[in-house]
Amino acid sequence: MKLHELTIHAAHQLLRRKEISSQELTRAVLDRVGAVDDKIGAFLTVAEESALQQAKRADEQINNGQCLPLTGVPLGIKDLICTQGLRTTCASRILENFVPPYDATVIRKLKQAGAVIVGKLNMDEFAMGSSTENSGLQITGNPWDLTRIPGGSSGGSAAAVAADMCMGALGSDTGGSIRQPAAHCGVVGLKPTYGRVSRFGLVAFASSLDQIGPLTKNVTDSALMLNTIAGHDPADSTSVPVEVPDFSAFLTNGLEGTKIGIPKEFSATEGLDDEVRAAVERAVEVIEDLGAQRVKVSLPHTEYAVAVYYVIAPCEASSNLARYDGIKYGVRDRAQDELMSMYRRTRSKGFGPEVQRRIIIGTYCLSAGYYDAYYGKASQVRTLIMEDFKSAFETCDVILCPVAPTPAFKIGEKVDDPLTMYLSDIFTLSANLAGIPGMSIPCGFSADGLPIGLQMMGKHFNEAKLFQVAYNYERTTDFHMQKPKI
């Protein structure tokens, strides 16, 4: 096996035994980026110099007998997580030249653990999208078929992990942006419980929904990354002071007694592709054979999830994005000599069409006279969606369903039709609205050789159960071991 193909766990074993150095490993990963990223377009910034310095430091740490699970391991970061001294663009023209003066908490934790940051990864502008086509900077291809989207908004993160350009990556998930690209690229993606991981230093899209999480080559690596980034942070008032267990300790527990809930509404979803349906059903059968027990559950309000999300998320976004006015951060249109026209020009040149659409929808829904009808109503229905999950989890431990209704679609296929694009988020949005953890793991391939993902959702702060079910399933399959031919 080539060095860049290693999983985090496998690389850690070799580093710990000093059979390889972090500098060799980092060099191999950077060479891989040099060899294939021209075709894929996952990286917005490759941090070669600082990565090699971090690798050197990691090697010194290891020589001093300090080798934590991520020490010396090369990782990629979605370009909306602040990295001190390293450009952070949110794939937006308006932040094209923004170099953060501080590290996000998750980055600080990764650095403390000795991880190596190889670069910043492409995404939909401000994480708004499902295909990475809304990036204001470049298009990313799916490593399994370069004419198709890698999913979004963390498309760069998923593509980079799938094509072995980093050993794992961080993404963010507001309505599916970790799970859906993970599914389309054949990797493992975890959206932790809201409040499990600090959002300090994550550029805000919709603050009541955003959560940072890992994209990795397998379930073990996902647990290792969550172990490192999770935990209460006084700098994020929504981070929750709960105990962080060692997530890797749960992987090998058997599934006897585990109840898996299958929501009756999901299989009736319009537009659910037959191959996806069949792959998910086969996965459920395998998990049953492993000792879990299937129960039927109902989530009657999920049919409103798309409508609720596409009111709440734009409302929060319109408020969060008000800070990009050309004064405090990023790019300013200097041709203007008057304040209002400077704001107007900066914002209309700096933001792409999808971001502008959402700011307009959000501003409208929050305006006096419409607030109750839209934001207020959406918040009420959001509570009903949360209650659906609460009662479903009285009879089951984990809910299983598809991640996306179809495998990865063609680049350009849905760009002119935002509504169809929004509908493709149908299976992922509710976990964010309810704040529960959700995970995507590879569960098959379409006849065209495109990866298909299985989604698992769990109770608040019970990521451990997701890891347990996912690991037991992964052990019996080899979908996660297949590589795109790139």
Taking the complex as a whole, the smallest distance from the CB of residue 435 to ligand GLN amounts, in Å, to 14
Instruction: State which residue, 259 or 357, has the beta carbon closest to ligand GLN.
Output: 357
DSSP readout, 440-484? EEEEEE-TTS-EEEEEEEESTT-HHHHHHHHHHHHHT--GGG---
Taking the complex as a whole, the smallest distance from the CB of residue 429 to ligand GLN amounts, in Å, to 7
Rounded Cα distance between 453 and 457, Å, is 13
In the residue annotation, 78 being an active-site residue is answered as: yes
Applying CB under 6 A, which of residues 174, 228, 318, 346 lies at the interface with ligand GLN? 174
Q: What are phi and psi of 286, to 5 degrees?
A: -60, -45
The answer to whether residue 129 forms part of the interface with ligand GLN (CB under 6 A) is yes
Instruction: Quote the DSSP letter at residue 81.
Output: B
Instruction: Quote the DSSP letter at residue 117.
Output: E
The answer to whether residue 153 forms part of the interface with ligand GLN (CB under 6 A) is yes
Rounded Cα distance between 409 and 414, Å, is 8
Taking the complex as a whole, the smallest distance from the CB of residue 152 to ligand GLN amounts, in Å, to 6
322 Cβ partners below 8 Å, 6+ apart? none
- Binding part of the chain for ligand GLN, among 38-46, 121-129, 382-390, 445-453 by CB under 6 A, reads 121-129
| Residue where the block lists tokens 């071991």 | 481
- Please name the amino acid found at residue 191: K
Token pair of 36 as six digits: 């294939």
Rounded Cα distance between 158 and 184, Å, is 8
Token pair of 415 as six digits: 């760009």
| Catalytic option among 135, 177, 222, 318 | 177
The answer to whether residue 284 forms part of the interface with ligand GLN (CB under 6 A) is no
x/- letters, 9..48, toward ligand GLN (CB under 6 A): ----------------------------------------
Print burial letters for 322-349: b (CB count within 10 Å at least 16), e (below 16).
Answer: eebbbeeebbbbeeeeeeeebbebbbee
The answer to whether residue 125 forms part of the interface with ligand GLN (CB under 6 A) is no
Rounded Cα distance between 287 and 293, Å, is 8
Distance of CA 442 to the CA centre of its chain: 15
Residue nearest ligand GLN (C-beta atom):
177
Rounded Cα distance between 251 and 159, Å, is 26
Applying CB under 6 A, which of residues 176, 201, 438, 442 lies at the interface with ligand GLN? 176
The answer to whether residue 318 forms part of the interface with ligand GLN (CB under 6 A) is no
- Binding part of the chain for ligand GLN, among 96-104, 114-122, 171-179, 284-292 by CB under 6 A, reads 171-179
Taking the complex as a whole, the smallest distance from the CB of residue 401 to ligand GLN amounts, in Å, to 17
Give the 3-state secondary structure of residue 381. helix
Count of C-beta atoms within a 10 Å radius of residue 445: 17
Instruction: State which residue, 126 or 471, has the beta carbon closest to ligand GLN.
Output: 126
The answer to whether residue 315 forms part of the interface with ligand GLN (CB under 6 A) is no
CA 121-122-123 angle, 5° bins:
125
- Binding part of the chain for ligand GLN, among 30-38, 78-86, 88-96, 168-176 by CB under 6 A, reads 168-176
| Catalytic option among 21, 22, 78, 446 | 78
Applying CB under 6 A, which of residues 175, 195, 435, 484 lies at the interface with ligand GLN? 175
Number of residues binding to ligand GLN, judged by CB under 6 A: 13
The answer to whether residue 189 forms part of the interface with ligand GLN (CB under 6 A) is no
Applying CB under 6 A, which of residues 37, 221, 425, 474 lies at the interface with ligand GLN? 425
| Catalytic option among 153, 222, 248, 430 | 153
Instruction: State which residue, 279 or 404, has the beta carbon closest to ligand GLN.
Output: 404
The answer to whether residue 177 forms part of the interface with ligand GLN (CB under 6 A) is yes
Rounded Cα distance between 188 and 89, Å, is 25
Taking the complex as a whole, the smallest distance from the CB of residue 66 to ligand GLN amounts, in Å, to 35
How far does the chain reach from its first CA to its final CA, in angstroms? 16
Applying CB under 6 A, which of residues 104, 128, 260, 469 lies at the interface with ligand GLN? 128
Question: Of the candidates 173, 222, 194, 190, which has an alpha carbon nearest to the alpha carbon of residue 460?
Answer: 194
Rounded Cα distance between 53 and 364, Å, is 48
Could you say which residues in the range 204-233 bind ligand GLN, by CB under 6 A?
205
Instruction: State which residue, 205 or 409, has the beta carbon closest to ligand GLN.
Output: 205
- Site of interaction with ligand GLN (CB under 6 A): 127-130, 153, 173-177, 205, 313, 425
Which residues are annotated as catalytic?
A: 78, 153, 177
